[in-house]
Chains A and B, each alone.
Chain A
Amino acid sequence: MEPSTSWIFSLRDLVLSSLKDRGLPIPVDREICSRWQQGLPSGPKETVLYTSCMYQMTPMIQKAVENLEKFGATRGGAASRVAAVAARYFGGLVLRPDKEHLERAYSILRSIYNMLRKSNVEVGLLPDEPYSGALLYELGFVEDFASYAAEVYKYFEERGVRRVITVDPHTQYVLERIYPQYVPGFDLDVRSYLEYIDVSRVKVKISGFAIHDSCLYARFLGKYDLVRRILAGGNPVEDPYVTGRETSGCCGGPAESINPQLATKIALGRAKKLAGLSRTVVSACPICLANLSRTGIVEVRDLAEVVEL
């Protein structure tokens, strides 16, 4: 399970060229990012709900990697040649969205939007929001990330945005913790939508599920307890060695684009542990949602699908 560096560099090139062309890390139609906003008012400018297109794109990234896997692109060996073929395949097409996945992503985003409204938070929507660049940072290309992040910051500044409300842990982490280190003068207030939910009014629609924590929320952003407060009404099944803050594990997602076999192995291990508590798992991250769902061992619901105000 050794990652191939030539593949990682090909991936970097693909991500960079796609970001340049359309502000998204993969070649998808930009319109898939904003379609969920149809019929909603554009809202105020200072505070915006920023999806970074994560829920919309994640299943497609995984599909793309799965296809590339068939070429052996991530496995090395005659890697540079293979990766070049893969790159053409990957870059040359505009990936077709899976309708079912997209609908699900839209309903999650609509639910988040509604919960914010009901918690008396007015948010603006950006039809052309760019991707955060998290993937570049996570892959380890910090210089590429830094220059891209500066552009994203400029985008927000030019629109008079002061506060950004995120919907997923990767965007929250990169904006809250990493942007300030790499973008001079960065001074946006970055909050997760979870912080705005009026916990006293939350209804949890299902019960007896297990919580799968996002690594970033639980261990980097201090949201372990908050997620539990929000989901308490559903009486989640807890086990100190499966769902504890220090003992739970990753979904494998972060390894997906460069080491899919490792990602699958980790996901299977995690899903089995969770299944020992409940077949239904609630997570609050699009990557966890996609990666654990693919194991087929547990049914994964997003927090925004099971909670209402």
Chain B
Amino acid sequence: MSWEVAIERAKSSIVPRTYDVLKRYPYLQEIRKQVREAKEEVVKNLDHYIEETRKAVERIGGRFYLAGSAQEATEIAAKIVGSGKVVVMSKNNVAEETKLRERLEAAGNEVWETDLGAFLVQIAGEEPSHILAPAVHLTKERVAQVLRERLGMAVPPDAVEIAARVREFLRDKFIKADVGITGANAVAADTGAVVLVENEGNIRMTSVLPPVHIVYDGVDKIVPTLVVAQLVADLQSAYAGLYPPTYMNISAGPSSTADIEMTRVSPAQGPREYHMVLVDNGRRAAARDPVLWEALLCIRCGRCHLHCPVYWALGKEFGKPPYTGPMGVMWTAVTRGIEEAGPHALKCVHAGNCREVCPMGIDIPKVIHEVRVRYLKITK
């Protein structure tokens, strides 16, 4: 079945839900302002906050790595993981951006996406179509077909049944996993903690069951404090229409206990190692750019996609996966440059819905227009 059917179903479900959430919890409007201010502060002083984060992560017994490029980032992660391991990952756009899974597989590891949507995209061998719901292009009928063809799972085209079967399949992987890799909704510079928000419970397991936890995300996720980091997670889930989120996770270092003589020792039940790999890959340059800097405020709620007439028409052809839709054109420019983002900027019709619905109030049409202008200049 077609993209048109899939996106219509998604829109009719999530758009009204998001409006209900925003109406029911008016305090979100205040949080929006606070988060925008905090993120602006970080973008303006990004190097300072990266350094603060490094110190904080080391303070809590973790290891911190700043990766300049996509390749550097995957090399760092590959070194931590080694080979012959079972790796579980929670949905992670930066992993997709840098092709982390492919790199770890090439090193001889068994790597599993554990977010249902990301898992389905992995099994289907396709690209994610939405920042938050990577399998939004797959109808339930198509999902059932993919599971049957690729994993021999006989499952009816029913969301509940599909979720149940995939849960069974992934349980085993969680138990066996040597390494868990998560992203971060926000990274707190003051504490070295990460906040992760979810509904499935897979992030919780990814970050707690395996003995090694790697946080792998972009430097744009840094916010000044843990308090703000939690607010980011609140907002992200609310503007994705999924508030309250079922789970909110904080990870700050390896697991530990102080139950014996009140002396803190590590590990306890959770991981013994906590690594944080933060990726630059164009972000620090964007932070200094007079127009592109605004893209770094994005909290990846995915709302702009659902209000964009070009995304409705083109799906993942608008932007470069994982960065599709209005935010995707900006993020393609940040992470892959004007040359790759330009052709997508040319598809923008400047409808302006994205700007209206963005919790960060990012002037997305302006950024995209600038990408278009620069692209035409270099193409000339």
Binding site for B on A (CB under 8 A): 1-3, 5, 8-9, 138-142, 215-216, 218-220, 240-241, 245-250, 252-255, 258-259, 262, 265-266, 269-270
Which chain A residues lie closer than 8 Å to B345 at the CB level? 140
Contact of A250 with B351 at beta-carbon distance under 8 Å, contacts A5-B376, A219-B356, A262-B313 already known: yes
Which chain A residues lie closer than 8 Å to B369 at the CB level? 140
Q: How far is the CA of A138 from the CA of B352 in the complex (A)?
A: 13
Contact of A262 with B314 at beta-carbon distance under 8 Å, contacts A3-B343, A3-B347, A9-B380 already known: yes
Q: Which residues in chain B, 292-319, are within 8 Å of chain A measured between CB atoms? A: 307, 309-310, 312-314, 317
Q: How far is the CA of A218 from the CA of B351 in the complex (A)?
A: 9
* Min distance, Cβ A220 to any Cβ of chain B, angstroms: 6
Contact of A215 with B357 at beta-carbon distance under 8 Å, contacts A250-B309, A262-B313 already known: no
B2 at the A interface (CB under 8 A): no
Q: How far is the CA of A140 from the CA of B347 in the complex (A)?
A: 12
* Min distance, Cβ A80 to any Cβ of chain B, angstroms: 12
Q: Are A1 and B314 in contact (CB under 8 A)?
A: yes
Q: Are B373 and A142 in contact (CB under 8 A)?
A: yes
Main SS of chain B's interface residues? helix
Q: Are B309 and A252 in contact (CB under 8 A)?
A: yes
Q: Are B15 and A215 in contact (CB under 8 A)?
A: no
Q: Which residues in chain B, 350-377, are within 8 Å of chain A measured between CB atoms? A: 350-353, 355-357, 369, 372-373, 375-376
Q: Are A241 and B16 in contact (CB under 8 A)?
A: yes
B346 at the A interface (CB under 8 A): yes
B154 at the A interface (CB under 8 A): no
* Min distance, Cβ B315 to any Cβ of chain A, angstroms: 11
* Min distance, Cβ B353 to any Cβ of chain A, angstroms: 6
Q: How far is the CA of A255 from the CA of B355 in the complex (A)?
A: 19
Which chain B residues lie closer than 8 Å to A269 at the CB level? 4, 309, 312-313
Closest 6 CB pairs of A and B: A219-B352, A249-B309, A250-B351, A140-B372, A254-B349, A3-B346
- 17 extra interchain contacts, Cβ-Cβ under 8 A, other than A9-B379, A216-B350, A254-B350? A3-B343, A3-B346, A9-B376, A140-B376, A218-B352, A219-B353, A220-B352, A241-B12, A241-B16, A247-B307, A248-B353, A249-B312, A250-B309, A250-B349, A252-B309, A266-B309, A269-B313
Residue on A nearest B15 in the bound complex, by CB = A241
Q: How far is the CA of A247 from the CA of B308 in the complex (A)?
A: 9
Can you pick out 21 interface pairs between chain A and chain B where the beta carbons lie within 8 Å of each other? A2-B343, A5-B379, A8-B346, A9-B380, A140-B346, A215-B351, A215-B353, A216-B350, A218-B352, A219-B352, A219-B353, A219-B355, A245-B356, A246-B307, A246-B353, A247-B307, A255-B347, A259-B346, A262-B310, A266-B309, A269-B313
* Min distance, Cβ A42 to any Cβ of chain B, angstroms: 35
Q: Which residues in chain B, 19-40, are within 8 Å of chain A measured between CB atoms? A: 19
Q: Are A140 and B310 in contact (CB under 8 A)?
A: no
Binding site for A on B (CB under 8 A): 4, 11-12, 15-16, 19, 307, 309-310, 312-314, 317, 343, 345-347, 349-353, 355-357, 369, 372-373, 375-376, 379-380
Residue on A nearest B7 in the bound complex, by CB = A269
Contact of A8 with B353 at beta-carbon distance under 8 Å, contacts A249-B312, A255-B347, A270-B309 already known: no
Q: Are B346 and A258 in contact (CB under 8 A)?
A: yes
Which chain A residues lie closer than 8 Å to B307 at the CB level? 246-247
* Min distance, Cβ A148 to any Cβ of chain B, angstroms: 15
Main SS of chain A's interface residues? helix
Contact of A266 with B310 at beta-carbon distance under 8 Å, contacts A1-B347, A241-B15, A255-B347 already known: yes
Q: How far is the CA of A215 from the CA of B353 in the complex (A)?
A: 8
Which chain B residues lie closer than 8 Å to A138 at the CB level? 350
Contact of A1 with B317 at beta-carbon distance under 8 Å, contacts A219-B356, A220-B352 already known: yes
Residue on A nearest B375 in the bound complex, by CB = A140
Which chain B residues lie closer than 8 Å to A8 at the CB level? 346, 376
* Min distance, Cβ A234 to any Cβ of chain B, angstroms: 25
Q: Which of B4, B11, B314, B347 has the most CB of A within 10 A?
A: B347
Q: Are B349 and A252 in contact (CB under 8 A)?
A: yes
Residue on B nearest A215 in the bound complex, by CB = B351
Residue on A nearest B345 in the bound complex, by CB = A140
Which chain B residues lie closer than 8 Å to A142 at the CB level? 373
Q: How far is the CA of A140 from the CA of B350 in the complex (A)?
A: 12
Q: How far is the CA of A216 from the CA of B369 in the complex (A)?
A: 15
Which chain B residues lie closer than 8 Å to A9 at the CB level? 376, 379-380
Q: How far is the CA of A305 from the CA of B346 in the complex (A)?
A: 33
Which chain A residues lie closer than 8 Å to B19 at the CB level? 240
Q: Are A246 and B346 in contact (CB under 8 A)?
A: no
Q: How far is the CA of A180 from the CA of B313 in the complex (A)?
A: 34
Which chain B residues lie closer than 8 Å to A139 at the CB level? 376
* Min distance, Cβ B22 to any Cβ of chain A, angstroms: 11
Q: How far is the CA of A148 from the CA of B12 in the complex (A)?
A: 44
Which chain B residues lie closer than 8 Å to A253 at the CB level? 349
* Min distance, Cβ A194 to any Cβ of chain B, angstroms: 18
Residue on A nearest B376 in the bound complex, by CB = A140
Q: Are B373 and A140 in contact (CB under 8 A)?
A: yes
Contact of A259 with B347 at beta-carbon distance under 8 Å, contacts A266-B313, A269-B309 already known: yes
Q: How far is the CA of A254 from the CA of B350 in the complex (A)?
A: 8
Q: How far is the CA of A218 from the CA of B309 in the complex (A)?
A: 15
Q: How far is the CA of A215 from the CA of B356 in the complex (A)?
A: 11
Q: Are B353 and A247 in contact (CB under 8 A)?
A: yes
* Min distance, Cβ A77 to any Cβ of chain B, angstroms: 14
Q: Are A266 and B349 in contact (CB under 8 A)?
A: yes
Q: Are B15 and A247 in contact (CB under 8 A)?
A: yes
Which chain A residues lie closer than 8 Å to B373 at the CB level? 140-142
Q: How far is the CA of A2 from the CA of B314 in the complex (A)?
A: 11
Q: How far is the CA of A215 from the CA of B268 in the complex (A)?
A: 56
Q: How far is the CA of A266 from the CA of B7 in the complex (A)?
A: 14
Residue on A nearest B16 in the bound complex, by CB = A241
Which chain B residues lie closer than 8 Å to A220 at the CB level? 352
